[in-house]
């Protein structure tokens, strides 16, 4: 974690850092719950192109909106702290207009739910009854904000996640909100300067073990095995993020040097370079809008980019759509192709 925090300064723009990790987390945390979407689908949708599985992509987009809501609140002096109210607000955005939209978005459940099976009598786990949920969440909120706790923050995050999933306070979306809560805790406790580390990739890769360890807490009270598994995930995710960050920084630096060597490059070309890590798929028209310039000027800047990206680093897609810095995108912290 400390090495990852120190490496954040390798990337020239702080805005570039969270682009890949946040989208990977949104994608993988949704895939754990059965969402069928890919990174290409998400990038195409952001670029304004039609996608065939728009409902699944919308679930990923909703997670991004919920994450931004939580992050904006935590970073604002007038924003809400980590609280039941903030999680309910995030839950409302998560289920807005997608699967689960009819299951009380933004509200704590008022009926009994269960995990696995078809009824409480044949299920894997039955969470607490609805009348206990408010008090249990209030206790969890107090635990989060207890500054006297001797527990290390990452151990505390592991306990909070397991307890939240055990309470299962919503009729749908508990897993995604519970994993978002982990990211929020890392932000709240200032363990990283930017949101660079997410655990959904590890949880998805070891999905059955993830469920088994949580079940061990609920059934056998085996907190130690769960915490050990959670911390292993932190180590794996941090190492992957560190490797991706170093690789991406090198590719971005090389890309900038190539552009500086181009006699045709001008101010608009340099501005386009600054946007590309957060705009990996685009059209000339989108570049024009983003840079607030004319179409011919935007087109000329894109041509410079094409001329400086021979080979697989730059790809012209059908319909005059461009995928920029493909090698860079594949090395962005949190990109799914990184494992």
Give the burial class of 62: count Cβ atoms within 10 A of its Cβ; 0-12 exposed, 13-18 middle, 19 or more buried.
Answer: buried
Q: What are phi and psi of 22, to 5 degrees?
A: -65, -40
Which residues touch 36 (CB under 8 Å, ≥6 apart)?
53, 56
- Classified by CATH at the fold level, domain 18-195 comes out as Fic-like fold (1.10.3290)
Mean pLDDT, contiguous 10-residue spans, the chain (339 residues):
74 69 90 91 87 93 96 96 98 96 96 85 90 98 96 97 98 96 94 86 95 94 97 95 82 80 83 81 86 89 69 43 49 43
Q: What is the pLDDT of residue 339?
A: 36
- What pLDDT sits at residue 312? 37
pLDDT of residue 99: 93
CB 336 within 8 A of CB 39: yes
- Residue 324 has a pLDDT of 54
Q: How far apart are CA 133 and CA 247, in angstroms?
A: 45
315-317 and 321-323 as β-strands: parallel, antiparallel, unpaired? antiparallel
pTM of the model: 0.86
What is the CATH number that goes with domain 247-338? 1.10.10
Alpha-carbon span 279 to 205, nearest angstrom: 28
Dist CA 141 CA 105 (whole Å): 20
pLDDT at 15: 67
| pLDDT value of residue 193 | 78
Give yes or no on whether 18-195 and 247-338 have one common fold: no
The span from the CA of 245 to the CA of 17, in Å, is: 8
Place of tokens 């840079």: 291
Q: What residue spans define the domains of the chain?
A: 18-195, 247-338
């Amino acid at each position: 974690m400390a090495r990852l925090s120190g490496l954040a300064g390798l990337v020239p723009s702080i805005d570039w850092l969270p682009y890949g990790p946040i989208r990977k987390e949104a994608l993988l945390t949704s895939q754990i719950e059965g969402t069928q979407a890919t990174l290409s689908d998400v990038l195409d949708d952001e670029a304004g192109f039609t996608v065939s599985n728009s409902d699944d992509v919308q679930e990923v987009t909703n997670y991004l909106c919920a994450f931004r809501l939580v992050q904006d609140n935590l970073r604002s002096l007038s924003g809400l702290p980590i609280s039941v109210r903030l999680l309910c607000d995030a839950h409302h955005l998560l289920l807005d207009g997608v699967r689960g939209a009819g299951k009380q978005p933004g509200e704590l459940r008022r009926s009994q739910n269960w995990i696995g099976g078809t009824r409480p009598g044949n299920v894997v786990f039955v969470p607490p009854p609805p009348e206990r949920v408010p008090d249990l969440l209030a206790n969890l909120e107090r635990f989060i904000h207890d500054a006297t706790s001797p527990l290390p923050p990452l151990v505390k995050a592991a306990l909070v996640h397991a307890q939240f999933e055990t309470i299962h306070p919503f009729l749908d979306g508990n897993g995604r909100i519970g994993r978002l809560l982990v990211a929020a805790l890392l932000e709240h406790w200032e363990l990283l300067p930017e949101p660079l580390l997410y655990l959904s990739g590890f949880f998805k890769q070891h999905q059955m073990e993830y469920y088994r360890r949580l079940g061990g807490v609920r059934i056998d009270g085996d907190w130690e095995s769960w915490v050990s598994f959670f911390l292993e995930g932190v180590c794996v995710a941090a190492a992957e993020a560190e490797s991706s960050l170093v690789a991406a920084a090198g590719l971005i630096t090389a890309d900038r040097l190539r552009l500086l060597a181009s006699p045709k490059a001008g101010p608009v070309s340099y501005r386009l370079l600054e946007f590309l890590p957060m705009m990996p798929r685009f059209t000339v028209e989108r570049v024009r809008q983003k840079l607030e310039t004319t179409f011919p000027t935007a087109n000329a800047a894109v041509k410079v980019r094409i001329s400086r990206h021979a080979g697989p680093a730059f790809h012209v897609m059908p319909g005059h759509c461009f995928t920029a810095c493909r090698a860079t995108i594949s090395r962005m912290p949190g990109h799914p192709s990184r494992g």
